[in-house]
Every structure is written in structure tokens, then in C-alpha cells.
């Protein structure tokens, strides 16, 4: 009765028999479930691995305070059924990347709709839908901006047709030895949290890195370092956690080790400080002899305290976390979560103290939280708009009207051409796409003597090319298996170099992901001349660069979900909800200009580039205007 | 109390990042009236209840029907037959315990008959799916009372919004790409002194490369002035030469190769924007020249009182310049130098704001109001945003509807293209005309669609005739609108619910610039447009 309008009768009837999958039950997901049910969809499955957090309640309207901590998918289902008992909804509290959800599973549906917050899952669902040949609607929001697009195998671009830059991570030595921006200190503080209270991770070392390539090794320096590090006698280079435990997590001892002794040790690596301003160690007793004032006004969260204030906060939060750890019992670990006050206090304090040591301007808790949690602002209104658009695209898709389908960008306010929405015709698939081309192929430049098999698997195949469980064989005529997705089969290879297997310039690898039904041919180019801290390069990939200055900054924003952005997230909980690919464009590209003009396709590529710069520009934005205009934190730098 | 505050901070964390705690506070003090709990109505309200408006009052004289339950998430089959305002209020309340909801089981027409002043109390009235006669009446009541009015309508696959507000002032418009306010072209005394305290030629290397770029530009500007008749580098060529001058200042090592001085690189990069001449933007100038700014009375809203104070400052102490904004961007510098520089700007901003305060105080006194009627904080925020002030003035519905004052030019020029969203506006006006004549909308009964097409065509023609509009409305649109049968599909309602709530929040918080004054959405083509009608 309610949607006879605009729909042909056959389509309206088909809705009740059609099965759809909603991936994600967050901000967009909640709105979408409601819209689907009220549009006449009857058979809906929804999957989300996340649980409900208080900060979801300002927009995820299917959840209430009493649901905090429960499964999003499950509660969403129950809430929808309360209002619309006739719907047939199946909920999964699980990751869509779990192998149970194979191509067969995807084939159960006529349509898949993403309401995701991270690129890894988006890549994966994209591949599953291509493999199963099921149309996919992709969407995302960030603050006031939003986007919806339709992906259909062979007819439109897939999610990965336009190369996206690898996620920006920071070199270990920047984090450990030579931070130059607040974000480096914040990442360090998050690592420190895990090293002290959480799961230790060898990639998250926080102590000075003596293997820094900038520090030429010289025995005389080494002796000086040894003295410095052992000055206290009991400070040996044991694991940070072990050491902290041995002191009973004494906040003052921790403080002096992290902000005094370790810094003095860094000072002995004098090569590092020839061109940089050297760090200034802090001493617990000394700083308490200084009088100081607090900066900033307004909410407590938005104040910037002085060194003494952060030292006190450090002290308090270490004590709280220590007792939490004791309460949990032997061998327990804490998980960092930006919405957990003591954990956030700890990171705020430790990051600011380190910023002070390295002569940076300190940040308020509010700002640190934005950066540490990769927080993208989120409101009900944008999600409502986007979810409304998704269903309209869904109806056209089910009707196979792909010509009528659009990519739609939602602007913050009507643009100079008075358009709030900017619809664009869908682009045809990129013939060189390394995902949806008929025989996908890529060329990777790396150093075969320095790259180990593990790095090939984790950093190249999984992180860069989005595979979940790759099998790799060398096309050497013998079909040597380099990596097997079966546990234990090829683990012995992990720490060997590629050259150990006869891999050299021009070698070809065949990488298969059985789950994704995806095969990628990898051509290797050996190079000794990669830039410092660069392990590999994909040849022909868009350079990870900000756009030319002629492109107005405001128009070209993209966020790709906060878990995608800049720094590695140490939070094991899903960081945030509903965000993708955002373009806030003033121009209104028509299908013809999109296809024909190299300039506009160039611009489009730039959109994609923007997302890794989120954190860097956020820093600048937040500093200018404390809390009120970071909806454009995704602006380009 | 503090507990409550923390839990709110947590709940609203993601939106505080958009409008700040003061925006949130205004939201929590707002009382919004929503007329008609249709799908569009409850979607709008949902999107206002979630972010935490203070109070809402739902006005609706209808009973819940089966059709309502079919497209409205906040009505269930058990509520059929109950008053719609009551039933929807119960479920909407569940969304947020910090919001209080009221309902009035009466039609807006009855309220307008009996006590039109009922509507005066609200921060904003949102009228949903109202007949033309009702929104015209209500529009004139609210226009007189100065209460903002937002009309929302889902008609088949068309979404429509009209904002009617006599005068809406925005202090925090959150512009994109705002230029910094550095005053390098016209440095104030304290900044001059601070710049003088640096001697780039006699500095340790470390200090040299940790000198904020603002200082670097200021220093080289002095040098430039001495060689160029005290004229700023204006065109591209001169700016290039100026960049070169800065580049020459980069220290070199023993071998004569330049050192890596990032602060100088930053200075070079920022030359273009940093040398932008300081002036009062035209939008702010217009505000100074507005009649409301000229004639302050005891009734003047504080926006105009402060605007007058700032104007006095500009015309006297400011020597033609706005108060200093007081913020500087992040830059490469050591903490000590950065904070000192920041304080130079901040202190000047505070001084300027204090002078503005004096003007405001005097002004308030002259109209017999106590000085505390505007707060120090309000003045500071105003000064900080003085370059970005906005005033939105919408035309009234009476102006839009009168044959003498309607916006003929906009309509005819848009209709040059027959598929402009303007045609949707003309069609909505035509179906309203249809309703006036037949007491129902076209196509609501399937068996009448054919004859309704002809009737609607007559309405279109009479509308065009009445306004002497020589434009072509394609038959396709007439058929399409008949086919809609005034239905309210949920997904279109959901879209409009999001868009309308967004505008409502802009109006309530006085942050960001609302649309002016008509918005149209076509769900079929996924296009939208705004018009000034």
C-alpha cells in the first residue's frame, strides 16, 4: 500500500520474496533496516561483529542505554521486529570476513548493501559480491557528508577499480625516536598502553630504537649508550611490561623511565639531534617544583593542562589501570578503547608528556581522542539521508535499471550551483583493475633480499591487496608453494627472504584466495632503491600525494572510515561506524565528462588519495577552532 | 550532576565535534513544535530527539490509520484508532530519556481558530503534509510572531522544504577554507614589537630553524618594504620574488648548500595567503550597514547590539579593521616560541574584545538595558567570528504567493530547461490547487487516475495563467504527479526527515548557514535544487 508509487507492480511484489543482506548495523545500518522493512522488503539478513557503545546512541536509534554491550545485529533485529513483527530478519553477531560467509552464502541474496566503517571489510564484500555476481550498494558518511554508489560486476566500477593509496603508517623509528608531530606521540602512547596493560605486540615497541638507520653504529657511542641505559642499575632492556610489573606499576618510576631515562638514552644517539631540536627529559620531582597555569576554557575535555597536570593525570590513570588489571586476575589484559575514560586519560597524559619532551604544542583530551580514535563525527541526520538514498538505488538495482543508478554525493550545504545532492552516472569497470579485471595482474617493486615471506603475506597480499587467506605459488615451472592458507603447512617459510626461494627480478607469483574466489598474478621487480621505510611499491599506483594547489581544497574530500585512516588502530573494538568514501564536490560531473575528460578522472583519483591524510589535516583543523568545525577533518592537507 | 554531564558528553561525543558544547546547550534548550506525525513528521522528530533537543510538542488531530502503520516506523498496528500525536509521542520518547515530549490532540486549524498565540512559544515550528490553506494561515501567524517556520512535504517521489524566517543571524557559519587573520600587512603594535625581538641574522642554527614562519614572513616583509617603497608584493611576479627573498634567507652549511629548514619552507608555502590584505568582508560590511545595526533599541537582539559594538570598534580604535581573531595555525616551531607568538595574538584579541565590550556596554546603557544582558563570552565568540557573520532573510509566503511579488524571473529562467526541479514546484502548487477544488489530491483513488490527469492539467494551466507565466510544463509531470496519489513512501520520507532535521538544527543552534528558501528533491533522478521564491 505504501510504495505503489514509483514502483512497477511486479517490482513491488518481488520485494516480498527478495532476500537482501545488510552488512553492518551501525549508523547507516539501523536506518537502512527500518527503511527496507517499511518499503516492503521481507527477508533481510544483517551481520555486524560490533557491540553497542554509549556513543552510538546519538544516532543508532534501534539501540537504547540498556542495550550497551550487546550485539548490534541482534538488538537491531529485535527492535525492528517490535515495530514490524511481520518481517523475517536473521541476525549474525559475526565478522563478514569469517570463512562461513562464502560465495554460496552470498548467492542466497538478490542484493547486498554495505553499511560498513572500514576498508578491509569493504574490499572483502566487494570481492565476494563480484565472485557471486550479486549487485552491491556501497555507502558511507562522515559528519555532514555522505555517498552512495552501486557496484555490478562487468557493468560498473568495483569498489577497488580506482587505486587507493596504502594506509599511512608511521615508520617505527619516527614513533620510537624522532616524533615530529602530535600524532606520532599519540600513536606512541597507544602502543605504550598495549605494552604495559594490553596484548604485547612486537610491532608496537615504544623504547628507543637503536637500529634506527639514521644512527650509524659506532662502538664508542655504544659504550656511552650502555652507561646511560644502565645508570639506574635495574633498568635493563627487558620487555616493557615485565619491567613495569617488577616495579608494581609504580607511576613515578614509570614516569621517570619513560620521560627521563629513555629520553636521555635517545640523547646519546646524537646524530639524530644534529638537525632536530633535541628532546628535553622530564623529571618527576623537578616538574612538581614548578608553578603553572592551565590553558583553555570551556569543557574539561577541551582544556589543555600543563606538564604538571598531565603528570598528575598520568599518575592517576596508571593507578586506575593497575587496579583494573589486578581485578581481572593473573595474566589478564586490558583492551584500549577511546571511550573508556581511564584508558583515554592514560593516552592523553602520556602523549602530551611526550609532546612536551619533543617541544610540541600539547593537545586537549578532546583533540587527542579525535586523533587516537580516528574519530569521524557522526550524526543521525546524515545517516538518515544516506539510508534513504540507498533504498532508492536498491529499487532501481533490483529492477536491473543500472543505467538509472547513480553515485550520489551529499554536500554539507547546497553548493554554489545550489545542489545539495550531486548525482553522477556510474563509470564502467576499469580494465586494469587488479580485482575485477578478467585476469587480474599487478606489478610490485621490492627488494627480494630484504623482504621476508611473512611481509609478502601480511603487508602486501593481505593489507594492500585485501586478501583474507592467500595461497601463493611461484610460477617457476615447478609450482613451488610459498604460502599455504592451511595452518602449519608453510610456517617454516615465514622468516625466509624471497630470494631464498629463487625469487628474483621478473619472477611471477600466483596468489589465490579461495574464500574470495580471487586469483591475482603478482609480477615482481627487484629494486635496491626504495625510499627509506618503504618496503614495497605497487607500480602504476596513484601516488599518495595531495592534489595540486589549483584544486580547491573544500571540494575534494574523502574519508574512508576511520579504521582505514592514518595510523594503525590498536583498538580491537570496531572504532567507529558508518563511514566511507566521501566526496564533497562543487562541480557536477556528468557521465560524459566523467568518462571522457582525463582531467575529471584525475580529480576522481585525487578523491581517493585524500583519505590517508585525514589525521594530518585534522591536527591543523582542531588547533584552529577547538570543537566546532571538524566536520571537515577529512579535508585535504 | 557531573555524572550526568559526563554521560551526556559520552552519548553526544560524535556530534559535539560538529557544533560544540554551546551548540549542544542551545539544542537542549530548544522547544520544537511538529505538526502531523506522518512518516515524514516522525522521521524528522526522530532525528531531533536522538541528538537531544530539549522539548518537542507534537500537534496532530488525526487518528492512526492502517496506512500510517504501513509507512511509519513509530506507529504500530496496536495504535490504530488512537490519536496519532499521542501514539507517536510514546514511541519517540523512548529514543532519548533526556528529551521531554508533549502532544496536542488537535488539528492546527483548530488551534489557529481558537488560540493562534499557542504557536508563539516555540523555537521553531515544523509543519508536515499540511494543506495549502493551513500553511498559509500558520505562515502569517508565525511571520508576525517572528517564529521560524519550516514546511516539509513528501509527495510521491518528490521532497519539498520551505524555510520562512524573517531574519536568522549566524555567528558561527563554519566557512570552509577560512583565511587566517594574521595582520602581517598591517601589524599591530604588540606584533611589531614581538617581531622586532627576533634577529634572524644572529641566531643559533637550531633557533633559526625553529622560528615560526609567521615571524619569518614578517621579517622578510620588512626587508621587502625597504626595497619596494613599502608596498606589499601584489601580483604573482612580485610574490615569486618575495618567495625567492625568503629562500635566500635559509642558512647554508660549510659547503654552501642550504640547510633543511622546514619553517622557511612553510613560510614560502604560506606567502600567498599570509599577504592577503586585511579588510572587512563585504557580508560583514552589509551587516554593519543594516538598519537593525544602525538603530539599536531596548528590543534589539544581542546579535545586532554586538554587531553595532564591533562596528564602533572598526570605525574608531580598529582603524577600519575587525577585532583580531586571536588564533594562529599549527606550525613548525619550538613550544616556547610558538606559545609566545600565540599569546601575542591571543592577548590582542582579548584586548580588542574588551574594547568592543565597552562599546556594547555604552550602547546598552543608552537604550536603558543592564550591561549584563550580553555576556563576555558571547562578545568574544562574536569578535572571533566577525569575518564570517551571516544574516539569512527569507521571503514570506505572502510574498511568494502574491501575483505582484512572486519571483517570476527565477521561475521563468529555470523553466528554460523543462526538466529543472522548478517544474516540481509548479506541480506542487498545482496539486494544491486541485485539492482546493476537489477536497482531495489527484490520483488517490486508482479508478480516477485518468480523469484526474485532465483535471490536474486544468489546474496547471490556471496556475500559469494567474501568474502570467509563459512556461511549458511537460505532460509527463502531470501524469507522474497523478500516479503519486499524494502517497508518502517511507524511503523518501526518511531522506526528507534527515534533511529537514539538519536544517532545523542549523536554525536552532544558529550555526552553519541554512538554505534560503525552497528545497526540492527528486527521488527518481536523485537530484535536488534550492530556489529563492
The predicted pLDDT at position B334 comes to 79
Residue B169 has pLDDT above 50, yes or no: yes
Closest CA to B98 of B36, B130, B131, B52: B52
The model's pLDDT over A474-523, given as tens digits with 9 standing for 90+, comes to 998 888 999 998 888 888 899 999 999 999 999 999 999 999 999 999 99
The predicted pLDDT at position B3 comes to 61
**Rounded CA gap, A122 and A142, in Å?**
16
The reply, when asked if residue A100 is annotated as ligand binding, is: no
The model's pLDDT over B110-141, given as tens digits with 9 standing for 90+, comes to 999 999 999 999 999 999 999 999 999 999 99
Q: Is B181 left (phi over 0), alpha (psi -120 to 50) or beta?
A: beta
- For residue B402, what are the contacts with CB-CB under 8 A and spacing of at least 6? none
The predicted pLDDT at position A426 comes to 94
The model's pLDDT over A316-345, given as tens digits with 9 standing for 90+, comes to 999 999 998 888 887 788 888 888 889 999
Q: Are residues A65 and A182 in the same domain?
A: no
CATH of the domain at A383: 3.40.50.720
Class of domain B7-170+488-531: alpha beta
Q: Are residues A282 and A179 in the same domain?
A: yes
The residue range of the domain holding A361 is 172-228+237-373
Nearest Cα residue in chain B from A338 = B10
For the residues A456-471, what does the mean pLDDT come to?
90
Residue A234: pLDDT band (50, 70, 90) is very low
The model's pLDDT over B359-400, given as tens digits with 9 standing for 90+, comes to 999 999 999 999 888 999 999 999 999 999 999 999 999 999
The predicted pLDDT at position A213 comes to 61
For the residues A137-165, what does the mean pLDDT come to?
91
The model's pLDDT over B189-244, given as tens digits with 9 standing for 90+, comes to 999 999 999 999 999 888 998 899 999 999 999 999 999 988 999 889 999 999 99
Q: Are residues A249 and A342 in the same domain?
A: yes
Chain B interface includes A86 (CB < 8 A): no
Of the residues A373, A392, A409, the one at which a domain ends: A373
Contacts of A375 in chain B (CB under 8 A): 13-14, 17
Closest CA to A352 of A147, A189, A202, A555: A189
Q: Element (H or E) spanning B268, and its range? A: helix B262-274
In this prediction the pTM is 0.82
Q: Are residues A353 and A403 in the same domain?
A: no
- Partner residue facing B10 (CB), from A55, A360, A418: A55
The predicted pLDDT at position B425 comes to 98
Distance from CA of B115 to the nearest CA of A (A): 33
Chain-chain contact of A387 with B494 (C-beta, under 8 angstroms): yes
Of the residues A313, A347, A373, the one at which a domain ends: A373
Chain-chain contact of B526 with A623 (C-beta, under 8 angstroms): no
Domain membership of residue A559 (yes or no) is no
The reply, when asked if residue A123 is annotated as ligand binding, is: no
Contacts of A84 in chain B (CB under 8 A): 73
A18 is known as an active-site residue: no
Distance from CA of A299 to the nearest CA of B (A): 8
Chain B interface includes A294 (CB < 8 A): no
Chain B interface includes A221 (CB < 8 A): no
**Rounded CA gap, B331 and B318, in Å?**
27
Nearest Cα residue in chain B from A278 = B206
Chain-chain contact of B176 with A408 (C-beta, under 8 angstroms): no
The predicted pLDDT at position A562 comes to 40
Answer whether B309's CB lies under 8 Å from B267's CB.
no
Chain-chain contact of A2 with B260 (C-beta, under 8 angstroms): no
**How far are the Cα atoms of A59, A549, B246, B386 from residue B270, in angstroms, in the given order?**
40, 12, 11, 23
Of the residues A354, A373, A392, the one at which a domain ends: A373
Prior bond of B336 cis (ω within 30°):
no
Chain-chain contact of A2 with B67 (C-beta, under 8 angstroms): yes
Residue A295 has pLDDT above 50, yes or no: no
Q: Where are the beta strands (DSSP E) in A432-543?
A: 441-446, 470-474, 481-483, 508-513, 518-526, 536-538
Q: Are residues A362 and A471 in the same domain?
A: no
Cross-strand bridge partners of residue A509: A474, A522
Looking at A186-195, B31-40, B118-127, B317-326, which range is the least confident one?
Answer: A186-195
**How far are the Cα atoms of A62, B12, B44, B152, B495 from residue A380, in angstroms, in the given order?**
12, 11, 10, 18, 11
Q: Are residues A516 and A388 in the same domain?
A: no
Residue from A18, A129, A173, A185 carrying the catalytic annotation: A173
**Residue showing cell 496519532:** B84
Chain-chain contact of B176 with A635 (C-beta, under 8 angstroms): yes
The predicted pLDDT at position A315 comes to 94
Domain membership of residue A634 (yes or no) is no
- Partner residue facing A388 (CB), from B13, B71, B498: B498
* Percent above pLDDT 70 for chain A: 76
Q: Are residues A387 and A513 in the same domain?
A: no
Chain-chain contact of B512 with A35 (C-beta, under 8 angstroms): no
Contacts of B502 in chain A (CB under 8 A): 144, 379, 381-382, 385
Chain-chain contact of B50 with A360 (C-beta, under 8 angstroms): no
**Residue showing cell 511481520:** A86
Contacts of B51 in chain A (CB under 8 A): 58-59, 379-380
DSSP string for residues in B406-427? S-HHHHHHHTTSTTSTHHHHHH
Looking at A361-365, B96-100, B459-463, which range is the least confident one?
Answer: A361-365
- pLDDT greater at residue A621 or residue A274: A274
Contacts of A301 in chain B (CB under 8 A): 9
The predicted pLDDT at position A167 comes to 53
Cα-Cα-Cα-Cα dihedral of A561, A565, A568, A570, to 10°?
A: -30
The model's pLDDT over A76-85, given as tens digits with 9 standing for 90+, comes to 999 999 988 9
Looking at residue A207, the DSSP 8-state letter turns out to be S
Domain membership of residue A489 (yes or no) is yes
Q: Where are the beta strands (DSSP E) in B358-455?
A: 390-392
The reply, when asked if residue A329 is annotated as ligand binding, is: no
CATH of the domain at A299: 1.10.10.520
Answer whether B185's CB lies under 8 Å from B275's CB.
yes
In this prediction the ipTM stands at 0.91
Chain-chain contact of B47 with A380 (C-beta, under 8 angstroms): yes
Domain membership of residue A54 (yes or no) is yes
Nearest Cα residue in chain B from A373 = B14
Domain membership of residue A586 (yes or no) is no
The predicted pLDDT at position B325 comes to 95
Residue B445: pLDDT band (50, 70, 90) is confident
The predicted pLDDT at position A288 comes to 83
Nearest Cα residue in chain A from B52 = A58
Q: Are residues A150 and A199 in the same domain?
A: no
Distance from CA of A472 to the nearest CA of B (A): 43
Nearest Cα residue in chain B from A148 = B526
Sketch the domain layout of chain B as residue ranges: 7-170+488-531, 189-275, 282-392, 397-484
CATH of the domain at A454: 3.10.290.20
- CA A514 vs. chain centroid, Å, equals 25
Residues 63-82 of A with CB under 8 A from B: 64-65, 82
Chain-chain contact of A83 with B76 (C-beta, under 8 angstroms): yes
Looking at A178-187, B282-291, B311-320, which range is the least confident one?
Answer: A178-187
- Partner residue facing B489 (CB), from A6, A298, A389: A6
Chain B interface includes A3 (CB < 8 A): yes
Residue A621: pLDDT band (50, 70, 90) is very low
Looking at B29-43, B139-153, B363-377, which range is the least confident one?
Answer: B363-377
Domain membership of residue A575 (yes or no) is no
| Mean predicted lDDT score pLDDT of chain A | 78
Residue A314 has pLDDT above 70, yes or no: yes
Q: How many domains does chain A have?
A: 3
**Rounded CA gap, A371 and A187, in Å?**
9
Cα-Cα-Cα-Cα dihedral of B106, B111, B112, B113, to 10°?
A: 100
Contacts of B6 in chain A (CB under 8 A): 341
Q: Are residues A408 and A481 in the same domain?
A: no
Q: Are residues A245 and A330 in the same domain?
A: yes
Chain-chain contact of A6 with B485 (C-beta, under 8 angstroms): no
The model's pLDDT over A391-407, given as tens digits with 9 standing for 90+, comes to 999 999 998 889 999 99
Answer whether B248's CB lies under 8 Å from B267's CB.
no
For the residues A6-26, what does the mean pLDDT come to?
82
The model's pLDDT over A568-589, given as tens digits with 9 standing for 90+, comes to 333 333 333 333 333 333 333 3
Domain membership of residue A409 (yes or no) is yes
Closest CA to B309 of B276, B350, B347, B358: B358
Residue A599 has pLDDT above 60, yes or no: no
**Rounded CA gap, A72 and A577, in Å?**
11
- Partner residue facing A39 (CB), from B11, B97, B491: B491
Q: Are residues A383 and A289 in the same domain?
A: no
For the residues B436-453, what does the mean pLDDT come to?
90
Domain membership of residue A270 (yes or no) is yes
Residue A634 has pLDDT above 50, yes or no: no
Q: Are residues A185 and A102 in the same domain?
A: no
Distance from CA of B65 to the nearest CA of A (A): 12
The predicted pLDDT at position A292 comes to 57
The predicted pLDDT at position A608 comes to 34
Q: How many residue contacts between A and B have a Cβ separation below 8 Å? A: 239
Chain-chain contact of A383 with B498 (C-beta, under 8 angstroms): yes
Looking at A111-115, A218-222, B273-277, which range is the least confident one?
Answer: A218-222
The reply, when asked if residue A137 is annotated as ligand binding, is: no
Amino acid at each position: 500500500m505504501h510504495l505503489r508509487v514509483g514502483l512497477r507492480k511486479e517490482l513491488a511484489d518481488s520485494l516480498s520474496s527478495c532476500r537482501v543482506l545488510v552488512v553492518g548495523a551501525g549508523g547507516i545500518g539501523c536506518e537502512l533496516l527500518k527503511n527496507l522493512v517499511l518499503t516492503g522488503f521481507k527477508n533481510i539478513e544483517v551481520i555486524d561483529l560490533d557491540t553497542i557503545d554509549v556513543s552510538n546512541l546519538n544516532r543508532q536509534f534501534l539501540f537504547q542505554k540498556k542495550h550497551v554491550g550487546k550485539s548490534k545485529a541482534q538488538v537491531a533485529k529485535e527492535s525492528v521486529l517490535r515495530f514490524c513483527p511481520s518481517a523475517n530478519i536473521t541476525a549474525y553477531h559475526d565478522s563478514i570476513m569469517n570463512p562461513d560467509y562464502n560465495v554460496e552464502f552470498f548467492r542466497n541474496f538478490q542484493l547486498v548493501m554495505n553499511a560498513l566503517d572500514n576498508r578491509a571489510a569493504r574490499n572483502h564484500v566487494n570481492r565476494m559480491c563480484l565472485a557471486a555476481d550479486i549487485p552491491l550498494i556501497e555507502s558511507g558518511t562522515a559528519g555532514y557528508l555522505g555517498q552512495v554508489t552501486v557496484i555490478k560486476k562487468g557493468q560498473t566500477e568495483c569498489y577497488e577499480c580506482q587505486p587507493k593509496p596504502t594506509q599511512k603508517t608511521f615508520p617505527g623509528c619516527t614513533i620510537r625516536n624522532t616524533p615530529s608531530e602530535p600524532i606520532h606521540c599519540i600513536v606512541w602512547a597507544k602502543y605504550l598502553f598495549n605494552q604495559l596493560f594490553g596484548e604485547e605486540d612486537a610491532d608496537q615497541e615504544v623504547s628507543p630504537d637503536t637500529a634506527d638507520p639514521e644512527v650509524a653504529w659506532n662502538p664508542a657511542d655504544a659504550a656511552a649508550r650502555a652507561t646511560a641505559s644502565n645508570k639506574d642499575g635495574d633498568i635493563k632492556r627487558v620487555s616493557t611490561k615485565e619491567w613495569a610489573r617488577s616495579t608494581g606499576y609504580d607511576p613515578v618510576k614509570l614516569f621517570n623511565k619513560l620521560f627521563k631515562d629513555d629520553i636521555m638514552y635517545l640523547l646519546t644517539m646524537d646524530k639524530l639531534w644534529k638537525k632536530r631540536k633535541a628532546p628535553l627529559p622530564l623529571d618527576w620531582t623537578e616538574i612538581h617544583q614548578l608553578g603553572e597555569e592551565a590553558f583553555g576554557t570551556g569543557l574539561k575535555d577541551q582544556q589543555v593542562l600543563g606538564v604538571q597536570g598531565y603528570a598528575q593525570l598520568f599518575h592517576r590513570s596508571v593507578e586506575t589501570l593497575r587496579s583494573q588489571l589486578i581485578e581481572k586476575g593473573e595474566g589478564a589484559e586490558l583492551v584500549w578503547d577511546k571511550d573508556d575514560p581511564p584508558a583515554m586519560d592514560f593516552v592523553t597524559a602520556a602523549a602530551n608528556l611526550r609532546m612536551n619532551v619533543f617541544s610540541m604544542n600539547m593537545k586537549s583530551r578532546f583533540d587527542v581522542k579525535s586523533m587516537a580514535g580516528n574519530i569521524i563525527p557522526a550524526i543521525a541526520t546524515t545517516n538518515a539521508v544516506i539510508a534513504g538514498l540507498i533504498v532508492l538505488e536498491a529499487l532501481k538495482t533490483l529492477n536491473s535499471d543500472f543505467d538509472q543508478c547513480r553515485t550520489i554525493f551529499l554536500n554539507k550545504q547546497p553548493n554554489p550551483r545550489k545542489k545539495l545532492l550531486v548525482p553522477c552516472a556510474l563509470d564502467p569497470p576499469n580494465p586494469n583493475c587488479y580485482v575485477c579485471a578478467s585476469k587480474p595482474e599487478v606489478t610490485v617493486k621490492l627488494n627480494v633480499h630484504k623482504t621476508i615471506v611473512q611481509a609478502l603475506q601480511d603487508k602486501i597480499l593481505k593489507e594492500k591487496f585485501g586478501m583474507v587467506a592467500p595461497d601463493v605459488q611461484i610460477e617457476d615451472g615447478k609450482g613451488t608453494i610459498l604460502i599455504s592458507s592451511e595452518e602449519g603447512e608453510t610456517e617454516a617459510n615465514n622468516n625466509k627472504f624471497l630470494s631464498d626461494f629463487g625469487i628474483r627480478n621478473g619472477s611471477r607469483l600466483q596468489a589465490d584466495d579461495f574464500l574470495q574466489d580471487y586469483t591475482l598474478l603478482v609480477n615482481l621487480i627487484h629494486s635496491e632503491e626504495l625510499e627509506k621505510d618503504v618496503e614495497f611499491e605497487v607500480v602504476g599506483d596513484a601516488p599518495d600525494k595531495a592534489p595540486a594547489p589549483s584544486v580547491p581544497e573544500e571540494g575534494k574530500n574523502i574519508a574512508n572510515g576511520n579504521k582505514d585512516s592514518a595510523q594503525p588502530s590498536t583498538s580491537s573494538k570496531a572504532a567507529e561506524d558508518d563511514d566511507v568514501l566521501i566526496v564533497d564536490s562543487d562541480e557536477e560531473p556528468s557521465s560524459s565528462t566523467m568518462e571522457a575528460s582525463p582531467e575529471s578522472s584525475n580529480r576522481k583519483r585525487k578523491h581517493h588519495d585524500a583519505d590517508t591524510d585525514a589525521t594530518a589535516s585534522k591536527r591543523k583543523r582542531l588547533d584552529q577552532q577547538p570543537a566546532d568545525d571538524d566536520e571537515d577533518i577529512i579535508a585535504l592537507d | 550532576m557531573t555524572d550526568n554531564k559526563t554521560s551526556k558528553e559520552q552519548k553526544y561525543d560524535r556530534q559535539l565535534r560538529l557544533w560544540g558544547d554551546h551548540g549542544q546547550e542551545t539544542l537542549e534548550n530548544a522547544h520544537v513544535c511538529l505538526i502531523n506525525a506522518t512518516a515524514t513528521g516522525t522521521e524528522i522528530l526522530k532525528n531531533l530527539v536522538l541528538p537531544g533537543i530539549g522539548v518537542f510538542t507534537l500537534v496532530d488531530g488525526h487518528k492512526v490509520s492502517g496506512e500510517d502503520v504501513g509507512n511509519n516506523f513509530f506507529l504500530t498496528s496496536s495504535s490504530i484508532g488512537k490519536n496519532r500525536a499521542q501514539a507517536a509521542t510514546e514511541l519517540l520518547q523512548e529514543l532519548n530519556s533526556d528529551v521531554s515530549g508533549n502532544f496536542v490532540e488537535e488539528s492546527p486549524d483548530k488551534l489557529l481558530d481558537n488560540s493562534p498565540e499557542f504557536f508563539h512559544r516555540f523555537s521553531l515550528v515544523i509543519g508536515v503534509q499540511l494543506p495549502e490553506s493551513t500553511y498559509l494561515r500558520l505562515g502569517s501567524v508565525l511571520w508576525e510572531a517572528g517564529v521560524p517556520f519550516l514546511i516539509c512535504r513528501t509527495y510521491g517521489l518528490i521532497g519539498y522544504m520551505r524555510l520562512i524566517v524573517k531574519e536568522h543571524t549566524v555567528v558561527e557559519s563554519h566557512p570552509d577554507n577560512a583565511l587566517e587573520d594574521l595582520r602581517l600587512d598591517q601589524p599591530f603594535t604588540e606584533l611589531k614589537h614581538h617581531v622586532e625581538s627576533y634577529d634572524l641574522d644572529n641566531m643559533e642554527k637550531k633557533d633559526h630553524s625553529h622560528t615560526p614562519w609567521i615571524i619569518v614572513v614578517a621579517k622578510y616583509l620588512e626587508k621587502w618594504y625597504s626595497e619596494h617603497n613599502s608596498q606589499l608584493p601584489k601580483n604573482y611576479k612580485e610574490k615569486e620574488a618575495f618567495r625567492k627573498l625568503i629562500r635566500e634567507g635559509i642558512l647554508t652549511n660549510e659547503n654552501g648548500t642550504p640547510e633543511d629548514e622546514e619553517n622557511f619552507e612553510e613560510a614560502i608555502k604560506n606567502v600567498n595567503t599570509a599577504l592577503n590584505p586585511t579588510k572587512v568582508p563585504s557580508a560583514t560590511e552589509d551587516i554593519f550597514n543594516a538598519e537593525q545595526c544602525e538603530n539599536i533599541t531596548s528590543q534589539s537582539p544581542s546579535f545586532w547590539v554586538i554587531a553595532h559594538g564591533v562596528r564602533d570598534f572598526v570605525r574608531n580604535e580598529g582603524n577600519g579593521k575587525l577585532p583580531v581573531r586571536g588564533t594562529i595555525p599549527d606550525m613548525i616551531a619550538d613550544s616556547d616560541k610558538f606559545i609566545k607568538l600565540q599569546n601575542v595574538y591571543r592577548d590582542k584579541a582579548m584586548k580588542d574584545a574588551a574594547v568592543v565590550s565597552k562599546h556594547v556596554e555604552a550602547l546598552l546603557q543608552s537604550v536603558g538595558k543592564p550591561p549584563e544582558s550580553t555576556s563576555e563570552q558571547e562578545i568574544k565568540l562574536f569578535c572571533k567570528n566577525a569575518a564570517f557573520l551571516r544574516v539569512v532573510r527569507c521571503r514570506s509566503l505572502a510574498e511568494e504567493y502574491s501575483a505582484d511579488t512572486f519571483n517570476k524571473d527565477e521561475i521563468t529562467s529555470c523553466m528554460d530547461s523543462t526538466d529543472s526541479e522548478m517544474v516540481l514546484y509548479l506541480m506542487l502548487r498545482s496539486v494544491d490547487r486541485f485539492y482546493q477544488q476537489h477536497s482531495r489530491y489527484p490520483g488517490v483513488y486508482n479508478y480516477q487516475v485518468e480523469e484526474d490527469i485532465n483535471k490536474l492539467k486544468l489546474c496547471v494551466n490556471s496556475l500559469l495563467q494567474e501568474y502570467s507565466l509563459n512556461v511549458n510544463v511537460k505532460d509527463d509531470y502531470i501524469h507522474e504527479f497523478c500516479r503519486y496519489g499524494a502517497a508518502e513512501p517511507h524511503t523518501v520520507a526518511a531522506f526528507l526527515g534527515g534533511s529537514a532535521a539538519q536544517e532545523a538544527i542549523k536554525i536552532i543552534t544558529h550555526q552553519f548557514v541554512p538554505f534560503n528558501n525552497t528545497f526540492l528533491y527528486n527521488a527518481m533522478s536523485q537530484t535536488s535544487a534550492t530556489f529563492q521564491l
